[in-house]
Chain A
Amino acid sequence: AQTVTQSQPEMSVQEAETVTLSCTYDTSESDYYLFWYKQPPSRQMILVIRQEAYKQQNATENRFSVNFQKAAKSFSLKISDSQLGDAAMYFCAQGGDGQGAQKLVFGQGTRLTINP
């Protein structure tokens, strides 16, 4: 069964600094998708970034980038120039179980605090 693990329940960073959130996953599939979602206090889930496993190049979206290490099954999120609006719960998720199910498996989440 697929599992996604976020080993950091909480992280904090100074405004304008860089922070990296960790995520590891376990799958026997070679083709799958990985995502980072953000859930601010409003509780609206927002897609931050996605990565297709067959692509070697790390995905980047403005201040957000990932470090995708397929062999190590690691998918960390780097937030550069942290802003107060980045404060939220961040969830790592994996899709693709090889059996056709379209669902995502989510990690436990990391609460990110931005210190002004």
Chain B
Amino acid sequence: GAVVSQHPSRVICKSGTSVKIECRSLDFQATTMFWYRQFPKQSLMLMATSNEGSKATYEQGVEKDKFLINHASLTLSTLTVTSAHPEDSSFYICSAQPVAGTYEQYFGPGTRLTVT
């Protein structure tokens, strides 16, 4: 149980284009999903918290207009990197929380984004 999928696993896009990453909770409903960015050999950096049906809460320093998050249903959240640039190249990970108040998160397998 508690499986989270993420698609695509790898994506290469050209500078200036946009790319969408999907995060799905497969066997549970998640009122809250999270998006992280992880640089090589570093810890996870929280980008935003996404609640179903409401606007995402972004961490300080994360550009809302660049990293668009939509949480349209209890099983799906999407992250769109708009007008991507090479510095946006990174490993992006989503997670989902099955039960509010427990802080327990289950993670997707991650997406490697390369912007050329």
- Chain A interface residues toward B at CB < 8 A: 32-33, 35, 37, 42-47, 50, 91, 95-96, 101-104, 106-109
Task: Tell whether B78 is near chain A: CB-to-CB under 8 Å.
Answer: no
Main DSSP-derived SS at the A contact region: loop
Structural contact, B109 and A43, CB atoms closer than 8 A = yes
Alpha-carbon separation in the docked complex, A106 to B59 (Å) = 14
Q: What's the Cα separation between A67 and B72 when bound, in Å?
A: 40
Selected from A47, A96, A108, the residue in CB contact (under 8 A) with B106 is A47
Total residue contacts A-B, CB cutoff 8 A: 53
Q: Is B21 an interface residue (CB 8 A)?
A: no
Q: What is the CB-to-nearest-CB distance from A29 to chain B, in angstroms, rounded to a whole number?
A: 12
List B residues at the A interface (Cβ < 8 Å).
32, 34, 38, 42-44, 46, 49, 57, 91, 93, 95, 97, 100-107, 109-110
Known: A43-B91, A45-B93. A104 touches B109 (CB 8 A): no
A59 CB to nearest chain B CB (Å)? 12
User: Which chain B residue has the least Cβ–Cβ distance from A37?
Assistant: B107
Interface centre among B93, B97, B104 (most CB of A within 10 A): B104
A45 contact set on B, CB distance < 8 A: 44, 93, 95, 107
Q: Are A102 and B97 in contact (CB under 8 A)?
A: yes
